[in-house]
Amino acid sequence: MSSHTITITDSGEEYRCKETQHLLAGMIQLGKKGIPVGCRGGDCGVCKVRILRGLYQSSKMSRDRVTEQEEKAGTVLACRVFPRSDIRLQVVDHLHKAITVADDGFLAPVNQEK
């Protein structure tokens, strides 16, 4: 089974994620404290990310959490997305603070892609 490199642009961290594993499971493997894990089924919306580059397959997500317009623009729930290539993503909403806080408790540098 193929695995792909997932890059979180906010923190610069990378991790490997299998095609059978959703992106949230891979982020949990980073061992980051404070990454919100809710329902893992696409209903709560705490794992919202924006895919900046890469191919993926997504499962059904709650339209209360991700609108059709947002999804077309690359905003998805990490618990409902499976990589099909290397992916660059940006954390949004609830996850943003958790993923950008460094181990010492201070905010890590945020990389802005334009």
Residue numbers of the domain that contains 63: 3-100
Residue 6 pairs in a beta bridge with 15, 87
70: in domain = yes
8: in domain = yes
pTM: 0.77
d(CA 76, CA 106): 27
The pLDDT tens digits of the residues spanning 23-76 come to 988 888 777 654 556 677 777 888 889 999 999 999 988 888 999 999 999 999
83: in domain = yes
Tokens of 33: 């404290």
Q: How many domains does the chain have?
A: 1
Of residues 17 and 112, more confidently modeled: 17
15: in domain = yes
Q: Are 46 and 38 in contact (CB under 8 A)?
A: yes
108: in domain = no
DSSP state of 109: P
The CATH number given to whatever domain includes residue 47 is 3.10.20.30
111: in domain = no
Tokens of 40: 């893992």
